[in-house]
Structure 1
Amino acid sequence: MGVEEQENLVKLGSYVVVQKQNFRKLVKITDKPTFTLGKEFIEMEQLPGKPYWTTFKMVSSKNGKRNVALEVAEKADTMEELCRGIISGTDNRTITDDSTSQKLSREEIEVLRDAGKSSIEIVGSLIENSSSFAAKTEFSQAKYIKKKEKKYYRFLMIHKPTLSIVQDIYFKQDCNKINSLRMDTLSQILSYSDVKADGNYLLYDSGSCGLTAAALLSRIGAKTTGNLVHLHPGNQAQMTLVNALNFPDEQLKRMSTVNLYTFLRLNYQGESEIIRELVKKHIIWKQLKESEKNNGDNEDIPNAKRRKLNDEDDDDNDDNDNNDIVVDNGDNIIDDIIDDNIDVPDTFKEPKWLNETRQAVDCFKNTKADGLTIIAKEHPSNIIQALLEFLGTSRPFVIYHCYREPLQETYIMLKQRRDIVNLKLLTNFCRNYQVLPNRTHPEIMMNDLGGYLLTGYLVD
């Protein structure tokens, strides 16, 4: 089996898109036996090792009434043949909806489902036992068949996750999770940022579930020389959609996820000050734990200070904790206890985030960034002023915000600078259309959110 064929197989730990008719869901293949789809529990033991775009039939399982097993099917049933040759009426006004036109009871329909009948057979039985179906108009008949097909459809298809698919899934479920980023807006961000395969790019994202990072990393591509520094607020970056696209390890290693405050502080203050604070906190924790082990309490450290240390959550083994570095607000507990002249103990280990931050800072020491992208939920003016220092001359920057007013204020602020040119504040309105025979019209229930973009160039 070739490398390309192996890449098209579902693997344990990878993500897949499960599609049932028009509904799609992102699922991670794990050791867990099932995943939820509506009110049913789908057993996933048949998925690993199968190629993407495989169609599965949902059959009854022995593990429970709500559990559903999967079997590989050649193709899914469709209702196209069922709709052919059906006599239709010309007017629905003579039809009375009193629930007596259907001769099959609910128990008889459940017997058909438990017997493993296909959706075509079940819907066909419903049509044969309906006294009012033939009197309905052609449009009403198609609507009825579509409604029943949705209820009794028993086929799934497994798709390979792509950027457009995962964006569509999250935008339809809850657009706030991806900061209301539409696909056309995301494509404009990639275009205005001038993302290429051989550049170094800087991204700040404060809440899009990793959608923008996944888009930039996908545009940079695998087996290239491009690098991406992903800045984020808080302790951990949102990497859900980055992991969902199943990037190879080589491509993921060229993306660094760094806390914004740590990145700026390491760049301007140097790492000696940061290591000094980390060592001090490490010693304090060792003293505190040793004292509590021997005496049950530490008399040298007041209870208020102990609570402050506990609130800071400075466990040396926590590699993702970037809150070890806090702004000095005049109540520096550590400096009250330990002298500045200290030696690094042998038990001290540098956290992984410090090494990753160091690499990110070194990435922009010799060469500036080829593009700057900011996806902000907060006001972006201070962020853009801090990060323009790392952008190269004649290079573009793009700022996205869900609302217009913060970008208007940022536009006025940047317009006063002489090193910013070609400033543009823009937005797009994309209207979806339903295109069907004899009923083509704009979609009524659609989401008009798409955000606003502020673009420009940094010059000398």
Structure 2
Amino acid sequence: MRRQGAKGDEIIEALIANSATFEKKTAFSQEKYRIKKQKKYAPRVLLRRPSARSICEAYFKKYPNRIGFLRVDALSLLLSLANVSANSDILLVDMVGGLLTGAVAERLGGTGCVCNTYLGSTPSPVEIVRTFNFNNEICKRIVRAPLHDLCSDQTGTKKIDSCNAELNVQISTISIEEMPLPSKHEAADSQTIVSPQSKMGKAPKAGEKASEEALKSWKENGFSSLIIAAPDADAWNLVKVLLPLISYSAPFAIYHQYLQPLATCMHNLQQSKMAIGMQISEPWLREYQVLPSRTRPSMQMSSFGGYILSGTKICSS
């Protein structure tokens, strides 16, 4: 019937008419049979605007290892414990594919700034941010900065920037000298083709490098809060470097799939007297099926949602 161009509803009605046991079933079994056949022969697609909850649930069901097994209730608790609100400057270590970066930017709503820092010279991939379909205003608020630039002083950064500028000038001059000069026809063609593109402005992308003014402001005033989601990194090694970058009395929240790294980090923070009000939370979620006379917990649920260490930074001196 599919090859003949029959619709899904027609196929379902034909299956019901040819079924010898359909009339003997109860009303509940008949409805269940219809739903089962509808999923196979007449699927329905509902288009929705992407959100942090829907994206997190989709990745958790299909690719949980890409987001560090971060469940939606753990994500919401992580944002609440870090006090993510409007006009805040949030420092992130996002090693869960960009899900945390997108969730923080969504809650900020085009205000404040999201700075995703990383170790080394290669930033962590944040490809999930593209699925949020943010506008240009929100994309401008998502920046990246290596940890070396955030920790170094102003004189050091100026020296590094000047050295990099000199190297770039040398490379550009060498490449220009080695390139052959174009002919008159090629020059005319290049002018007609390139000049309209140069006038067009490029749309901002999420994850651009932070400006010098923003880095200077963060070094002087500190960040509003710190959020870490790095399942493959040691929590204490990150916290002892990143915690001095946030302002005093600022909250922090650290997610990890296992308990022991957070327990070790909490013990070291207590010994060094760098934070107060620390606690390790384990989110708990139970899904229910809500139907007439059939309300009960779901048959298959996730029994584990990771752990979150939260606290408030204080002056250790």
Given the two structures, how large is their TM-score scaled by the length of structure 1?
0.56
- Aligned residue for 2:267, secondary structure, equals helix
Judge conservation of contact 2:143–2:209 (CA < 8 Å) in 1. no
Letter in 2 for 1:156: V
1:61-100 aligned at under 5 Å gives the runs none
The counterpart of 1:219, out of the listed 107, 110, 113, is: 107
**1:158 Cα deviation after fit:** 2.1
Q: Cα–Cα, structure 1 residues 357 and 459, in superposed 2: closer, same or farther, change >3 Å?
A: same
**1:154 Cα deviation after fit:** 4.7
Partner of 1:210: 98
Judge conservation of contact 1:266–1:358 (CA < 8 Å) in 2. no
**1:288 Cα deviation after fit:** 11
Question: Do residues 409 (structure 1) and 243 (structure 2) align?
Answer: no
Q: Deviations over 1:136-175 (max 9, x none)?
A: 3444333322211111115433221122111111111111
Partner of 2:221: 367
Partner of 1:110: 2
Question: Do residues 130 (structure 1) and 19 (structure 2) align?
Answer: yes
- Aligned residue for 1:159, secondary structure, equals coil
Letter in 1 for 2:217: C
**1:432 Cα deviation after fit:** 1.7
Aligned-pair identity (%)? 31
Partner of 2:129: 242
Partner of 1:271: 158
**1:406 Cα deviation after fit:** 0.7
Letter in 2 for 1:182: R
Whole-Å Cα distance in 1 between the matches of residues 67 and 154 of structure 2?
Answer: 29
Whole-Å Cα distance in 2 between the matches of residues 127 and 194 of structure 1?
Answer: 55
**1:267 Cα deviation after fit:** 6.2
Partner of 1:180: 69
**1:354 Cα deviation after fit:** 10
Q: 357-366 or 164-173, which moves further after superposition? A: 357-366
Judge conservation of contact 1:263–1:357 (CA < 8 Å) in 2. no
Judge conservation of contact 1:396–1:456 (CA < 8 Å) in 2. yes
Q: Deviations over 1:169-214 (max 9, x none)?
A: 11111112111222221111111111221222211112x2211111
- Aligned residue for 2:268, secondary structure, equals helix
Whole-Å Cα distance in 1 between the matches of residues 290 and 211 of structure 2?
Answer: 50
Q: Cα–Cα, structure 1 residues 407 and 161, in superposed 2: closer, same or farther, change >3 Å?
A: same
Letter in 2 for 1:240: E
Partner of 2:184: none
Whole-Å Cα distance in 2 between the matches of residues 116 and 275 of structure 1?
Answer: 70
Whole-Å Cα distance in 2 between the matches of residues 139 and 193 of structure 1?
Answer: 46
- Aligned residue for 1:110, secondary structure, equals coil
> Mind listing any 5+ residue stretches in structure 2 that lack a counterpart?
181-206
Q: Deviations over 1:273-294 (max 9, x none)?
A: 3542674587589879999x9x
Letter in 2 for 1:216: V
Whole-Å Cα distance in 2 between the matches of residues 180 and 266 of structure 1?
Answer: 37
Q: Cα–Cα, structure 1 residues 193 and 446, in superposed 2: closer, same or farther, change >3 Å?
A: same
Judge conservation of contact 2:142–2:208 (CA < 8 Å) in 1. no
- Aligned residue for 1:135, secondary structure, equals coil
Q: Cα–Cα, structure 1 residues 220 and 175, in superposed 2: closer, same or farther, change >3 Å?
A: same
The counterpart of 2:116, out of the listed 222, 225, 230, is: 230
Judge conservation of contact 2:149–2:157 (CA < 8 Å) in 1. no
Judge conservation of contact 1:203–1:374 (CA < 8 Å) in 2. yes
Q: 209-218 or 401-410, which moves further after superposition? A: 209-218
Judge conservation of contact 1:267–1:361 (CA < 8 Å) in 2. no
1:311-322 aligned at under 5 Å gives the runs none
Whole-Å Cα distance in 2 between the matches of residues 279 and 139 of structure 1?
Answer: 76
Q: Cα–Cα, structure 1 residues 120 and 218, in superposed 2: closer, same or farther, change >3 Å?
A: same
> Mind listing any 5+ residue stretches in structure 1 that lack a counterpart?
1-108, 294-352
Q: Which has more helix, going by share of residues? A: 2
The counterpart of 1:395, out of the listed 250, 256, 269, is: 250
**1:434 Cα deviation after fit:** 2.4
Q: Cα–Cα, structure 1 residues 419 and 265, in superposed 2: closer, same or farther, change >3 Å?
A: closer
Judge conservation of contact 1:194–1:371 (CA < 8 Å) in 2. yes
Letter in 2 for 1:110: R
Letter in 2 for 1:143: K
| Structure with higher RCO (Cα < 8 A, 6+ apart) | 2
**1:120 Cα deviation after fit:** 2.4
Letter in 2 for 1:381: W
Judge conservation of contact 2:145–2:209 (CA < 8 Å) in 1. no
1:208-357 aligned at under 5 Å gives the runs 208-222=96-110, 224=111, 226-233=112-119, 235-265=122-152, 269-273=156-160, 275-276=162-163, 279-280=166-167, 283=170, 356=210
Q: 378-387 or 136-145, which moves further after superposition? A: 136-145
Q: Deviations over 1:50-107 (max 9, x none)?
A: xxxxxxxxxxxxxxxxxxxxxxxxxxxxxxxxxxxxxxxxxxxxxxxxxxxxxxxxxx
**1:422 Cα deviation after fit:** 0.7
1:425-444 aligned at under 5 Å gives the runs 425-444=280-299
Partner of 2:34: 145
- Aligned residue for 1:126, secondary structure, equals helix
Q: Cα–Cα, structure 1 residues 266 and 274, in superposed 2: closer, same or farther, change >3 Å?
A: farther
**1:413 Cα deviation after fit:** 0.5
**1:440 Cα deviation after fit:** 3.6
